[in-house]
Structure formats: C-alpha cells, structure tokens
Amino acid sequence: MAAFTTTRMREENFLKIIMVIVISTILIFYTDIITPLGFAVWILYFIPLVLTLYLQWKFAPIVAAGFFLILLAISYFLSPRDILEIFALINRLFFSAMLIVTAILITRYKQSIEDLHKSERKYRHLTDWSPDAIMVQQEGKIVYTNPAGQRLFWASTNEELLGKNIINLISPDERKNINQKLDQALLGAKMQIPQTNLVRLDGRRVSVEGWLGEIIWDGKNAVQIILREISDAKAGPSSSP
C-alpha cells in the first residue's frame, strides 16, 4: 500500500512539472513573438529548462533545449523588428549556445544523481547479507540498519531502531568517548571502536568492537557504523562474581 501511494505521488508530481514546463514555454514563446527583437525575452527559457532537472527521464534537458531552439528560431522571424537582424541573430546564437551547455550540465548532474542512487541500492543489498551489524546514523538518528543490526540489539523490526541515537544504546560510561569518535568520523576520519558495551533493547549488555566512517546517505553526510559482537572467549574472563 505504501509503495502504491509513493508511486501515485511521483506520477502526480511528474504531471505537475510537465504542466508547468508546457505552460511556461507557451507563455515565453507568445511573449517573444509579440515583443521586438531587441528585448531578450527568450532568456526566460532557462526556467523550464531548469525544471527538467526534476523529471526522471535523463535526456529531458537535451530534448527540451532542442525544442526551445526551434521556438527561438521561429520567434526570430515573427518578432517585430526594432534592431538590425544581424545583431538579433548574434544574440540568439549566443543564447542558444548557453542553452545547450546548460542542458548538458543538467544532464550530467542527473546522471551523477542516478549513479549515486544505484550505488546506494547496491550498498543496501550487500549490507543486508552482511554478518556484521551495519548501521547509518545521520543528524543524530539511525536512518538504516541491516538485519544483523536488528539481531544485535534484539529488535524485531527496523522501526524499533530507526530514529534512535546510537549514543543512547551505548553503556553510559562510554558514551562520551563514542560521541567524540562519531564527530571525528563525520569530519572524514576513519575511527575504530575498541571493546565497548552496548545496551540492547531488552536492557541486557553485550560487548562489541567496530568501525566508523563517513558516507553520503540520501545526498547528505552520515556516519556508517559497523559493529561485531565479541564472543566471551575473545572478550576474556568476566570480572563479575
């Protein structure tokens, strides 16, 4: 049901953006053909061109720029003359070059975003199969955990961990040290977590070791947390009676 709602919202947003692009293009073209050549009304084509950034089709900026160039050529012959045609032609040719360059830059940006999303999907797929607990904390909240992370904290669902601060799941006497390491990791440092006690959701403690590193998550900086439970043999003899 949630997936259907998300798909429906994307389709509605897509139609809204298309309508804005079409309506703005028509208005710009009409204004251009009734305005003398000396007025650079056509520079407004940058507005619908930038809006193609929000369309999922990668080549939307290139197609839109080509269509704008056709309209630009048509309006050149229909607009009232108030300056020499050669000057008007030079202005429009210069703008056309800028329009093409902008369309290419937008297309490349869209491609980089698409590649980033693909990498993120691959990352999530790989971490789902990892035996180590892998979590992502962003702006003081856990935004992702793999199944091993759920098992480590004895969480039955993701929702029991998402939104929590990992610091609150650390033994109180070790929170300051881990918090400092998180801050350093967010600045780009690769940090190792020595033997540390976690507090599971059922209140019991478990010894772990781990690693921290900066990653990009949903376009923002975040910290990747990798935790591995330490067995009793590795942890050494217990000091409790």
- Across the range 168-182, mean pLDDT stands at 91
- Across the range 109-136, mean pLDDT stands at 83
Lowest mean pLDDT among 1-15, 24-38, 52-66, 153-167: 1-15
CB-hemisphere CA count at 13 Å for 216?
A: 9
Return the pLDDT at 9: 56
In the chain, where does the domain assigned CATH 3.30.450.20 lie? 130-235
133/118 Cα distance (integer angstroms) = 22
Return the pLDDT at 1: 45
pLDDT band with cut points at 50, 70 and 90 for residue 8? low
pLDDT band with cut points at 50, 70 and 90 for residue 113? confident
Return the pLDDT at 233: 45
Return the pLDDT at 120: 73
Distance of CA 132 to the CA centre of its chain: 25
The pTM of the full predicted model, rounded to 2 decimals, is 0.59
79/85 Cα distance (integer angstroms) = 11
Phi, psi of 30 (to 5 degrees): -65, -45
Q: Which residue has the tokens 């033997």?
A: 195
Return the pLDDT at 118: 80
Q: Which amino acid is at 207?
A: S
Return the pLDDT at 240: 36
Return the pLDDT at 5: 46
Domain 130-235, second-level architecture? 2-Layer Sandwich (3.30)
Cβ atoms < 10 Å from Cβ of 152: 22
Phi, psi of 59 (to 5 degrees): -95, 15
